[in-house]
């Protein structure tokens, strides 16, 4: 994640449901950065949860 260009970074939004995130996570990432409506990173979502 540290070396990924920002435009290529897969993220999820804080208003998405867990099931919606899992449907979009086709690359099976373990963690996804969670962003707000202004695309600011708020934290990291653990997809195995």
Alpha carbon of residue 31 to chain centroid: 7
Task: For residue 44, give every residue at least 6 positions away whose Cβ sits within 8 Å of its Cβ, in sequence order, or none.
Answer: 31, 32, 33, 34
pLDDT tens over the chain, length 49 residues: 568 888 889 999 999 999 999 999 999 999 999 999 999 999 999 998 7
pLDDT at 4: 84
pTM for this predicted structure: 0.80
Q: Please state, in angstroms and rounded to a whole number, the distance separating the CA atoms of residues 31 and 11.
A: 9
């Amino acid at each position: 994640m540290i070396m990924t260009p920002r435009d290529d970074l897969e993220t999820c939004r804080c208003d998405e449901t867990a099931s919606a995130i899992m449907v979009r996570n086709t690359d099976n990432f373990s963690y996804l950065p969670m962003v707000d409506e202004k695309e600011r990173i708020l934290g990291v979502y653990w997809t195995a949860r």
